Amino acid sequence: MIKKTTLRKSKKETNKGITLIALVITIIVLLILAAVSIATLTGENGILKKADTAKNQTTEAEEKEQINLAYTTIVADKLHNNERKDVIISADELQKELTNQNVNTTATDKDSKQIEVTFNTTNNKYTIEKETGKITGPTNSGGQTPTEPEYNTATTVKDAITQDKPFKEQTPIADSSNKTITIPADFKIASDSAETLAEGVVIEDLNQNQFVWVPVENMANFKREAGYSNGSQQSYDLTRYAEPYASGYSTETNEYNAMKKSVEDNHGFYIGRFEAGKDSNGNVVVKKGADVYNNVPWGNTMNDIEGTSNTGGKVGAVKLSKEFASKNNYTGVTSTLCYSVQWDAILKFIDSDYTGFAKDSSQQGWHSDNYRKTDTGNIETNPNSITGLDLIYTNKPNEIANKQKNIYDIAGNVWEWTMESETPNYRVYRGGTVRIRRFLLFSFQSHC
């Protein structure tokens, strides 16, 4: 009996023990769940924090949309009043239009090129480019860090076009044929880019300058060719022509070798989609619809690209090209005037066997028998003054004559400067016979 009772007692105590353990576990679990719930709500990545971030992002998007609407309204009004299309708005004009929209803001001139707009209810401050309408920000009066911009995360050209955002850093991505292209930091794939390298992938910087990738798969083919003039092959005397020119400016040979090394490492290079243009302040741009940078000298002399004593005070094409990357704050990218070897690589890209476009561009490019129709159906009388116009074949009214693989005006009736020399006294033009000297910008990634 004693043994039996002892067993029962032990069993009872054991049951009580299990109940207490279960209770303690339940309380601990509840406490843990409570802690998890609180962290989920209030932590750095908690629901409340995310909700607050989403609210701020919505507010910022609405404020940017209000600025954009005011800006485009002013531009549209000016265009309607027959002002130039490269209109520049003032802070007073923007403030007046925002007030008309019942938006509580203060707009002031930040400098000669930018306007600062403060939203008085949120203290968010935005910077607007007067010429382009580009909006950056916000910051606020409390000194908070600006909202981190959204960057492209795509791994393919197609997805990058869809995301329509710049890449944060230099990024290799693949086209639909699994060919790789490296996109420089702060560049995006343009919305009208091709999806394959073979058709011309277009990149665009933060200032809307555009470049096209020219693939070079085999360096043995990256060489100067005896080209064509009016359908006839030219004689090309290597003893008279040089690239680089040994007696040129001090860094010319090193720059040429760096260019070739970059082309070899990256299997290609970028060329300006349009010939160089200039904005209303005289800065070099590579944009559609800009005033063409006409009648520019190559440099001061064959071995002087800095001086202007022999050029009537004009800065030469080489210096303008070399400074382009730094003036646009590019990272890991160098810009220079187009080399003749690159010009030939572009022609091979467009016309691999030199039997079509590269041999005879009389029906393509800037020629007197091609024209551009304006929106009203009128004929453009001076197409050579604007970059990127869609010139139409006279006998093929639905085809663009001067765009090949997304590159505009690579051939036609206007000369373009190159880095090539015809020793001992000349630098070489390419592209045409009319002596309106222009230039093309070539950009390569020097730190891949």
Spatial CA neighbour of 81 closest among 93, 65, 99: 93
- Distance separating alpha carbons of residues 29 and 34, to the nearest angstrom: 8
Are 78 and 211 within one domain? no
Tokens (6 digits) for 61: 């998007």
Same domain (yes/no): 307, 432: yes
Q: Which residues fall within 8 angstroms of residue 247, CB to CB, at 6 or more apart?
A: 302, 303, 423, 424
Q: Give the Cα separation of 28 and 90 in Å (integer).
A: 65
Single out the residue of 445, 446, 440 nearest to residue 183, CA to CA: 445
Residue 235 — left, alpha, or beta (φ > 0 → left; ψ -120 to 50 → alpha)? beta
Strand partners, 230: none
Clarify whether residues 95 and 226 are in a common domain: no
Residue 240: its pLDDT value, please? 86
223 and 79 in a common domain = no
Any domain includes 160: no
Tokens 């690579």 appear where? 410
- Cβ burial, residue 353 (10 Å; 0-12/13-18/19+): exposed
Which pLDDT does position 252 carry in this prediction? Answer: 95
Do residues 132 and 259 share a domain?
A: no
Residue 194 has what pLDDT? 96
Q: Are 47 and 40 in contact (CB under 8 A)?
A: yes
Residue 422 neighbours by CB under 8 Å, 6+ apart: 240, 241, 428
Flag whether 349 is in a domain: yes
Pair (128, 211) in one structural domain: no
C-alpha–C-alpha distance, residues 335 and 348, integer Å: 22
Residues 344 and 439 in one domain: yes
Residue 211 sits in the same domain as residue 106: no
pLDDT tens sequence for the chain (448 residues):
233 333 333 333 333 444 566 666 666 666 555 555 555 554 555 555 566 677 788 888 899 989 988 888 888 887 777 655 567 788 889 999 999 988 999 998 888 788 999 998 888 899 998 888 888 888 765 445 555 568 999 999 999 999 999 999 999 999 999 999 999 999 999 999 999 999 999 999 999 999 999 999 999 999 988 777 666 777 777 778 899 999 999 999 999 999 999 999 999 999 999 888 888 888 999 998 888 888 889 999 999 999 999 999 999 999 999 999 999 989 889 999 999 999 989 989 988 877 776 777 666 655 554 555 444 455 555 555 777 777 665 556 666 767 889 998 776 656 888 999 998 889 988 876 555 556 667 665 443 3
Query: How many Å apart are CA 77 and CA 335, to the nearest integer?
Result: 37
Count of domains forming the chain: 2
Six-digit token pair at 244? 């680089």
- Tell me: do 104 and 224 sit in the same domain: no
In a domain, 110, yes or no: yes
Q: Do 127 and 215 fall within a single domain?
A: no
* Residue 66 resides in a domain: yes
**Residue 399 confidence (pLDDT):** 67
Query: What string of H, E and C letters represents the secondary structure of the chain?
Result: CHHHHHHHHHHHHHHHHHHHHHHHHHHHHHHHHHHHHHHHHHCCCCHHHHHHHHHHHHHHHHHHHHHHHHHHHHHHHHHHCCCCCCCCCCHHHHHHHHHHCCCCEEEEECCCCEEEEEECCCCEEEEEECCCCCEEEEEECCCCCCCCCCCCCCCEHHHHHHHCCCCCCCEEEECCCCCEEEECCCCEECCCCCCCHHHCCEEECCCCCEEEEEECCCHHHCCCCCCEECCEECCCCCCCEECCCCCCCCCHHHHHHHHHHHHHHHCEEEEECCCCEECCCCCEECCCCCEECCCCCCCCECCECCCCCCCCCCCCHHHHHHHHHHHCCCCCEEEEECCHHHHHHHHHHHCCCCCCCCCCCCCCCECCCEECECCCCCECCCHHHECCCCCEECCCCCCECCEECCEECCCECEEEEEEEEECCCEEEEECCCEEEEEECEEEEECCC
Q: How much is the pLDDT for 74?
A: 87
Domain boundary among 115, 140, 165: 140
Q: What is the largest CA-CA distance in the chain?
A: 125
Q: Among 124, 140, 156, give the residue marking a domain's end.
A: 140
Instruction: Report the pLDDT value the prediction gives residue 36, as an integer from 0 to 100.
Output: 57
Residue type, 275: E
Domain shared by 214 and 352, yes or no:
yes
- 212 and 111 part of one domain: no
Please calculate the CA angle 174-178-181 and round it to the nearest 5 degrees. 35
- Nearest one of 430, 422, 427, 428 to 240, comparing CA atoms: 422
Question: Does residue 432 lie within any of the structural domains?
Answer: yes
Using the CB atoms, write b or e for 47-67: b if 16+ within 10 Å.
eeeeeeeeeeeeebeebbebb
Q: Is residue 181 part of a domain?
A: no
Last residue of a domain, one of 140, 161, 195: 140
> What's residue 247's pLDDT?
93
In a domain, 26, yes or no: no
Q: Is residue 42 part of a domain?
A: no
Backbone angles phi, psi at 325, to 5 degrees: -65, -45
Q: Which domain holds residue 131?
A: 47-140
